[in-house]
Amino acid sequence: MIPQPHPFTLRVPDAAIDDLRARLALTRFPDQAPGDPWAYGADLDAVRDLVAHWREGFDWRAEEARLNAFPQAAVHLHGIDLHYLHVPGKGPDPCPLLLLHGWPGSVFEFLDIIPRLTDPARFGGDPADSFTVVAPSLPGYGLSFKPGQKRFGVEEIADCVAHLMHDVLGFTRFAAQGGDWGGFTASRLGAVHPEKLIGIHINLLAVKRDPAMLPDPSPEEARYLEELKLFLKEETGYQWIQGTRPQTLAYGLTDSPAGLAAWILEKFRAWSDCNGDPWSVLDRDRVLANIALYWFTGCINASFWPYYARMHGPWPIPDGRTVDVPTGYAAFPREILRPPRSLAARTYTDIRRWTPMERGGHFAAMEQPDALAREVREFFRPLRRPGA
């Protein structure tokens, strides 16, 4: 029997909001290490400012209402209640699009880009390019989490969302787009569920991070190897702790909203195209809404699980397998890693669009919603035709 979805509306209890404010008021801050701000992690002044705004200026109910303005549902699938936005397209023949977030993100990342995909005419585009967007909270994240539920790695996430799109919602074939774990999930779908997809569009490539793959590098490949060397040395501490001792880290981040905010803020600053000022490209209240969703749902521990699964299991694209569905890639200049096309082509055998983007980083749907939406529309336009 196919599980039946039911409508969903987010409403955090007043008592939970009051408890959050009380905890924020009692925050015990560390001192600041000597040297440049941000050199050793989240800067003290920046975290103080964010915590003060979270307590005194942030309006959760306003952000909650923005999310609830989109149709939402939940369905019991693969042993959990899977939450998703399901926003019909406005056009003659909307294409179903699975939109996938990552860590430390949530469906709040997509509030600006969804209308640009579902109603392109409103933003000067062609209504023939419209999508019906399905944006799930990934299993273990946000509104797809309850304490004690089973854990999901990328492989299980891909199977779950494929089941949602194909069997529950009845889309024979669909498009998929994602960054971070969403990019990995879309790539996994392309490798193991190709018959369900018209194509995938990603802004983070699921390419193994192994310098030995390029023994005689070209100049572009050498650039990537230097980038990879720095990333592995300086930027992977969070991966190691989340991928080896997630339970221990979760105590502090589940108990301290300031600790949670610092842990996530540092990534929004480091991974966005912001020249050191995240609020120059990101809306502070939208980032706080994302952090608050982690807080109110208590999902941070489960959200770490894809890291643990990856470190203790095979690469999500199995050895000997490739992604053979049509693939598009938006190469944002401040993405955490930017493998060259020569390396990506070993995993993705049908790259049909590879676009260097002018601006933007890891959180492309928040930083550059117009540019990303335009890329997604242009990539999938020819694939909408039967037999493309």
**Cα separation of 267 and 350, whole Å?**
32
Contact between residue 133 and residue 109 where contact means Cβ atoms under 8 Å apart: no
Contact between residue 109 and residue 290 where contact means Cβ atoms under 8 Å apart: yes
**Cα separation of 242 and 379, whole Å?**
34
53 in active site: no
Contact between residue 267 and residue 238 where contact means Cβ atoms under 8 Å apart: yes
Block residue for tokens 């050895």: 319
**Cα separation of 295 and 211, whole Å?**
37
Considering the candidates 19, 78, 308, 350, report the single residue annotated as catalytic: 308
**Cα separation of 184 and 250, whole Å?**
24
| Secondary structure of residue 192 in the 3-state scheme | helix
Block residue for tokens 């809404």: 289
Residue 105 burial by Cβ neighbours in a 10 Å radius (0-12, 13-18, 19+): buried
Pairing of strands 80-87, 72-77: antiparallel
Cα 335 to chain center, whole Å? 13
Considering the candidates 129, 180, 273, 285, report the single residue annotated as catalytic: 180
Largest Cα–Cα separation, the chain: 61
- Phi first, then psi, for residue 72 (nearest 5°) are -135, 160
45 in active site: no
CA angle 99, 103, 107 (to 5 degrees): 40
Considering the candidates 83, 163, 201, 362, report the single residue annotated as catalytic: 362
**What DSSP designation does 31 have?**
P
**Cα separation of 320 and 336, whole Å?**
26
CA atoms in the 13 A half-sphere facing the CB of 150: 11
If phi > 0 it is left, if psi is from -120 to 50 it is alpha, else beta; for residue 112 that is alpha
84 in active site: no
**Cα separation of 275 and 253, whole Å?**
27
Helix (H) or strand (E) holding 370: helix 369-380
Question: Which residues are known catalytic residues?
Answer: 180, 308, 362
